[in-house]
């Protein structure tokens, strides 16, 4: 039950802003305290005033009894009437006063035009008592009625009634005053709370802004320490964290740069090695094999009847096949055409050989008017080479296309197939398909690689590499 | 926390439980029944304001109770501010028996035949005097020294309180209005004594019996007062009856009062009014007072 109430409360109190919470605290406390004070003051005041009224009733009745004794004995009714009227007139709380003779007959009273007879029996007093006071409920409020014996009741009884009308009036005024005070205090409280809220939420707002900046990667942002409190400590901690993050980020960038440098060197030396091996194969191994073939043909032609003639024929065929393989190997390692005639020619030849070998039609569109920087040509060539390998290995495609074009300072390459596709979200796919290597090649040149693919919807690779930064290098 | 304290405070306020004795509509006014005719069978006794009304009630209550028992009928006490009002009540038959002052008796006897019943005997005498009293620290030694002072009279027709001091002033050749700077009436002898004791007046003439009675009751007064002149003896204030009273009742009352001294049950009543016994009395004893009043009247009416 309590938990439910608390949850309900929290769902409301937790949802509002800090400003509203503080205002709620201030206003709630003020109202609660104010209401409590009003109730308390009213109760205390009423209790005190009722006691005072009782005392006033007693003193008025005692006074009347003392002053009425002689006039009653002397039967001075005019004087008695004046005495009663003055008793009522001179003290605003006295509602009525009257005198009874020892037989209980009314001698004189202050009601005009009759007497509320019900009053008579409500109070009386013993002859030897000092006084007897009772509380009577009347149509005009509560009345403290005091009876005082005059000369041990030998002369009679004096009775005086004191109403609480004035007390009720003062009580209403008091309540109103306290209520107004509470209102003023509440307004002041709201102002103070607004100020406090400003003081409290401003650093929080700033911290929020700064946190968003950091999230964006701006580690230089710092917050001001507003006050020597928890929020101040939070600001300090935040600044420390930002500094630490900035340091870490710098370190990371440095490492990344080193890694790229290293990668670049690896790739460059790899290319160089391939080129050297390819040249070696072409220049030396191919020449030797060619010499071998020429030698074997000469053996064939000069010794037609020799028993070794068939063997020479056979060896010549092996040598020719090996020459072809060496040729192909050299081409794959580093096509000379790429260095000699450029990317367009190299790719067209690559595509033609690929189409011929795997029997998958490929559409090549290359719109380049000039040679590109060597690094870019090599990267694009290798990326296309890898992509075509992937298509053969995984895509089960029926056709493929290559588009290379220059758009302003941006080189753009799109390699597409209509194969089975894959889900690019799975990182497994990226690693497995050698996409990471392709992406790294693109990124090393400040470019990017975007894969668009879905199972059953083919695969599309978009590579963009800026040319301006390279030309300025 | 604040909330908790507030609630605690509210809870701790003692809720004063007030018992209501009853409900009344103060605007529900009804005509008062005319008071039932005052006990017609009651014996109506008037007591002149020799001492103040409250003092009278206290002093005479035992005597009145005694009479009620003896007569086996209620006794109603009637008091008035002045002696003349009592005399009027007696003259009009509204009072059966009365304790009056000497001068009131003479006035009543000479105008409508007020009848003597008995007289109280005090210190073995049926006479009393007028004491001229002044504050204890006063330098006055006779009436002559009170010229230009404030003087308190008791009742306009009191022998000891007004007639005799007026007589003394006249002997000096003045009227009281000329002689004193200011005069006022206290309407009873005990109030006159208190007026001197409190310094309200510089001089007053009072009934010697009341003076002795007051001093006995309140010994502190001895320190504050002194008597500088004593009048000749006058007949003591008597108990009188209405001339129209039935003779049997007059006789019954007289015998009860005369027998009181021999009745153990009556001692408290006698002691309360400072009387030893009631004795028969004749009009002669009041002759000196009557003459004094006549002189004064002659003097008063140029």
Q: Which residues of B fall within a CB distance of 8 Å from A35?
A: 6
* Residues forming beta bridges with residue B237, ordered by sequence position: none
Mean predicted lDDT score pLDDT of chain A: 86
Same domain, A69 and A93: yes
Which string of b and e fits A287-309 if b means at least 16 CB within 10 Å? eebeebbeebeebbeeeeeeeee
- If asked whether residues A452 and A369 sit together in one domain, one would say yes
Q: Is the CATH number 2.40.30.30 carried by domain B130-231?
A: no
Backbone angles phi, psi at B234, to 5 degrees: -125, 160
Does residue A352 sit in the same domain as residue A326? no
Return d(Cα A467, Cα B101) in angstroms, integer: 149
A172/A23 same-domain check: yes
Q: Which residues numbered 39-68 in B keep a CB inside 8 Å of some CB on A?
A: 49, 52-54, 56-58, 61
For domain B43-125+236-282, the CATH architecture is: 3-Layer(aba) Sandwich (3.40)
With beta carbons under 8 A apart, name residues in chain B contacting A115. 29-32
End-to-end Cα spacing for chain B: 96
Query: Mean pLDDT score of chain B, rounded to an integer?
Result: 86
Who contacts A4 (Cβ-Cβ below 8 Å, separation ≥6)? Answer: none
Show the DSSP H helices in A91-164 as ranges.
Answer: none
CATH number of the domain residue A472 falls in: 3.30.565.10
Instruction: State residue B195's pLDDT score.
Output: 92
**B21 touching chain A per CB within 8 A:** yes
- Selected residue of B17, B19, B21 to mutate for chain A interface (largest A Cβ count, 10 A): B21
Surface of B (80-119) touching A: CB under 8 A: 80-81
Same domain, residue pair A355 and A325:
no
Tell me the pLDDT tens digit for each residue of A432-467. 667 888 888 888 888 888 888 888 888 999 999 988
Q: Is residue A193 part of a domain?
A: no
Closest CB from A32, A74, A155 relative to B3: A32
**B81: chain A residues, CB-CB within 8 Å:** 74, 76
How many Cβ pairs within 8 Å bridge chains A and B? 120
User: Does residue A10 sit within a domain?
Assistant: no
Asked if pLDDT for residue A176 goes beyond 80, the answer is: yes
Task: Report the interhelical angle of A165-216 vs A18-73 (nearest 10°).
Answer: 170
- pLDDT tier at B302, thresholds 50, 70, 90: very low
Please report which confidence band the pLDDT of residue B99 belongs to, taking 50, 70 and 90 as the band edges.
very high
Does B11 contact chain A (CB < 8 Å)? no
Collect all residues of chain A within an 8 Å Cβ-Cβ radius of residue B23. Answer: 118, 136-138
**Minimum-distance CB partner of B10 among A36, A135, A151:** A36
Domain that holds residue A281: 218-334
Whether residues A43 and A155 fall in one domain: yes
Q: What is the CATH number of the domain that holds A103?
A: 3.30.450.20
Predicted local distance difference test score (pLDDT) of residue B4: 60
Same domain membership, residue A458 and residue A397: yes
* pLDDT of B243: 87
Query: Residue A154: its chain B contacts at CB < 8 A?
Result: 57, 61
**At residue B2, does pLDDT exceed 60?**
no
pLDDT in tens, A286-311: 889 999 999 888 888 887 777 878 88
A36 and A164 belong to one structural domain: yes
A356, A416: one domain: yes
Query: Does residue A323 sit in the same domain as residue A346?
Result: no
Point out the residue among A111, A117, A154 whose CB comes nearest to the CB of B61: A154
Which of A280, A305, A334 is the last residue in one of the domains? Answer: A334
What's the predicted TM-score (pTM) here? 0.58
* Structural contact between residues A331 and A275, judged by C-beta atoms closer than 8 angstroms: no
């Amino acid at each position: 039950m309590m938990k439910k109430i608390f949850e309900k409360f929290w769902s409301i109190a937790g949802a509002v802003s800090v400003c509203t919470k503080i205002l709620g605290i201030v206003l709630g406390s003020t109202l609660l305290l104010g209401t409590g004070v009003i109730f308390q003051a009213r109760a205390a005041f009423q209790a005190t005033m009722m006691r005072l009224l009782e005392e006033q009733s007693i003193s008025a009745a005692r006074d009347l009894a003392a002053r009425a004794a002689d006039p009653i004995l002397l039967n001075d009714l005019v004087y008695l009437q004046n005495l009663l009227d003055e008793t009522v007139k001179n003290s605003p709380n006295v509602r009525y006063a009257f005198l009874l003779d020892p037989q209980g007959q009314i001698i004189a009273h202050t009601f005009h035009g009759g007497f509320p007879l019900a009053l008579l029996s409500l109070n009386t007093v013993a002859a030897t008592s000092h006084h007897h006071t009772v509380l009577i409920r009347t149509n005009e409020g509560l009345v403290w009625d005091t009876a005082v014996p005059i000369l041990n009741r030998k002369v009679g009884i004096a009775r005086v009634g004191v109403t609480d009308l004035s007390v009720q009036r003062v009580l209403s005024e008091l309540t109103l005053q306290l209520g107004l005070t509470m209102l003023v205090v509440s307004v002041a409280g709201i102002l103070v709370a607004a100020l406090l809220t400003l003081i409290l939420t401003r650093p929080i707002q700033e911290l929020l802004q700064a946190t968003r900046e950091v999230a964006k990667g701006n580690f230089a942002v710092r917050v001001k320490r507003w006050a020597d409190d928890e929020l101040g400590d939070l600001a300090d901690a935040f600044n420390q964290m930002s500094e630490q993050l900035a340091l870490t980020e710098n370190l990371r960038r440095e490492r990344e740069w080193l890694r790229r440098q290293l990668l670049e060197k690896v790739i460059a030396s790899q290319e160089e090695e391939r080129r050297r091996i390819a040249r070696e194969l072409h220049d030396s191994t191919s020449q030797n094999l060619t010499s071998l073939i020429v030698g074997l043909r000469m053996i064939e032609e000069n010794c037609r009847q020799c028993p070794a003639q068939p063997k020479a024929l056979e060896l010549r065929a092996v040598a020719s096949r090996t020459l072809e393989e060496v040729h192909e190997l050299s081409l794959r390692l580093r096509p000379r055409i790429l260095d000699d005639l450029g990317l367009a020619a190299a790719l067209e030849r690559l595509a033609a050989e690929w189409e011929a070998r795997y029997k998958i039609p490929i559409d090549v569109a290359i719109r380049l008017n000039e040679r590109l920087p060597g690094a870019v040509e090599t990267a694009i060539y290798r990326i296309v080479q890898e992509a075509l390998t992937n298509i053969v290995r995984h895509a089960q495609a029926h056709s493929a296309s290559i588009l290379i074009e220059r758009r302003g300072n941006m080189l753009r390459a799109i390699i597409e197939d209509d194969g089975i596709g894959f889900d690019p979200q799975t990182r497994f796919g990226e690693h497995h398909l050698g996409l990471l290597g392709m992406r790294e090649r693109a990124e090393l040149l400040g470019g990017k690689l975007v894969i668009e693919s879905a199972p059953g919807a083919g695969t599309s690779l978009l590579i963009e590499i800026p040319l301006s930064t390279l030309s300025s290098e | 926390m604040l909330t908790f304290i507030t609630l605690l405070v509210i809870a701790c306020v003692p809720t004063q439980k007030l018992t209501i004795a009853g409900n009344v509509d103060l605007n529900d006014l009804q005509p008062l029944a005319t008071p039932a005719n005052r006990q017609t069978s009651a014996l109506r006794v008037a007591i002149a304001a020799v001492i103040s009304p409250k003092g009278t009630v206290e002093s005479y209550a035992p005597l009145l109770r005694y009479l009620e028992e003896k007569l086996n009928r209620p006794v109603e006490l009637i008091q008035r501010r002045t002696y003349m009002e009592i005399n009027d009540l007696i003259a009009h038959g509204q009072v059966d028996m009365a304790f009056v002052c000497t001068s009131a008796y003479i006035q009543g006897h000479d105008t409508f035949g007020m009848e003597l019943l008995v007289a109280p005997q005090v210190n073995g005498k049926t006479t009393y005097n007028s004491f001229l009293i002044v504050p204890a620290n006063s330098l006055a030694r006779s009436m002559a020294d009170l010229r230009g002072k404030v003087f308190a009279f008791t009742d306009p027709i009191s022998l000891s309180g007004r007639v005799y001091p007026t007589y003394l002033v006249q002997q000096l050749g003045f009227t009281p209005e000329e002689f004193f700077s200011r005069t006022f009436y206290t309407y009873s002898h005990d109030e006159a004594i208190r007026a001197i004791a409190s310094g309200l007046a510089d001089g007053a003439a009072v009934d010697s019996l009341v003076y002795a009675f007051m001093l006995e009751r309140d010994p502190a007064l001895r320190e504050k007062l002194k008597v500088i002149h004593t009048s000749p003896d006058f007949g003591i204030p008597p108990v009188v009856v209405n001339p129209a009273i039935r003779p049997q009742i007059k006789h019954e009352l007289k015998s009860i009062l005369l027998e009181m001294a021999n009745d153990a049950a009556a001692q408290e009543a006698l002691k309360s009014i400072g009387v030893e016994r009631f004795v028969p009395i004749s009009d002669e004893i009041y002759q000196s007072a009557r003459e004094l009043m006549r002189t004064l009247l002659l003097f008063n009416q140029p």
